Amino acid sequence: MQKPVYFDYAAATPTDKRVIEAMVACLNEDGCFANPHAKDHVYGWQAAEVVERARSQIADLIGVSPLEIFFTSGATESNNLAIFGLAKGLRKKGDKRKHLVTSMIEHKAILEACELLLDDGYEVTFLKPDSTGQISADKVAKAIRPDTFLVSIAEANSVLGTISNIHDIARECHKRQVYFHSDVAQSVGYLTMDYAHSDIDMVSLTSEKVCGPKGVGALYVKRDSHIPLLAQIYGGGQEKGLRGGTVPTHQVAGMGEAFAILKSEGFKDKERFFALRKRLIDGIKHLKGLVINGSKTDFLPQILSVSFENIDGHKLLPTLSRIATSTGSACSSASLEPSYILKAIGHSDTLARASLRLSFGRFTKNEDIEICIEELNTKIPTLYN
């Protein structure tokens, strides 16, 4: 049986063969397999060199010092470290501020962390995005209070692809002595970074969205911001005491290689994504009831969110057998729940359920787009019968 064409890059990407080669070199007995924290022999030194090279590759992509990169297990852990680590660090210092600002459409790693802080006596403002999914710097500025200590807004929404200007938001935060954090898992490598010359304090990174391995990520922490983070995982004092546990040499090597490839090829990839997205839209724009979600001007080209009016969303994915994609919704055991992100931009439950997130990437071919167009043109009209 032929597998469907993959259109869920925003969830996870295939690993680049060059990344796999870098990882394999850290796994066998002839490679750098040792514990990178072992300081008493050459094996440990070699593994440590691999880790530091990866740290430099990551820092180089985003325009910062390698000393500001701390490895984690992924963006989810990085998000938790940024939020809980700062909240507890400030409390330890006697800082009594207990208000955060975020948005209604953040990743669940942000939203659930904020909800846990609510249980601990903190207050959270969940900003509503505009109809495209964008959060403006002005809206953030108006939400900041004297007791606000942190604002966390993603640079690009993972369902809509809509981009918010996090550099402007960070500038407004710094005017008010508030820390700013962003999850840039979807956008890293494709937008202006150069974080050393930005007011952004912390950024969560992962490699699984950019053709690197799963299970590894990093948190960028700006040295000049003097952020009082407390570790959330203890045991061994690794990563300068900010994250205990053995750093997995092969995974960070893979992440470093993925970021190095992105630095050299990201612009070329992005230009191709724009062309693929345009072809996809042109091929389906005549479909009855089609709604293209998100911003028409500020968007990641590799994510296209579409909805279809007056169809049964429960039948949408099962009908599309030739493409592997997602609805932008979470599946519960009993029913297809409408996406909280699509509802936040004003969609009804029915329209939110009848939605697709079509995301593609480095290995998507022109013929894959043609298959997607043909599948949607063939199957969507049948859902109106």
- The crossing angle, in degrees rounded to 10, of helices 249-284 and 42-62 is 30
List 26, 32, 211, 331, catalytic entry: 331
CA distance 300 to 169: 19
Q: Measuring CA to CA, how many Å separate 7 from each of 20, 291, 327? A: 22, 18, 11
Nearest by Cα to 98 from 123, 116, 120:
123
Please check whether residue 65 is in contact with residue 275, taking contact to mean a CB–CB distance below 8 angstroms: no
Q: Which two tokens stand for residue 157?
A: 């929404």
The angle formed by the CA atoms of residues 327, 77 and 332, to the nearest 5 degrees, is: 30
Query: Within 10 A of 246 (CB to CB), how many other CB atoms are there?
Result: 13
Q: Which two tokens stand for residue 66?
A: 């390698």
Per DSSP, the residues of 245-294 read S---HHHHHHHHHHHHHHHHHHHHHHHHHHHHHHHHHHHHTTSTTEEE-S
State yes or no: is 173 an active-site residue: no
CA distance 136 to 145: 17
Catalytic residues: 331
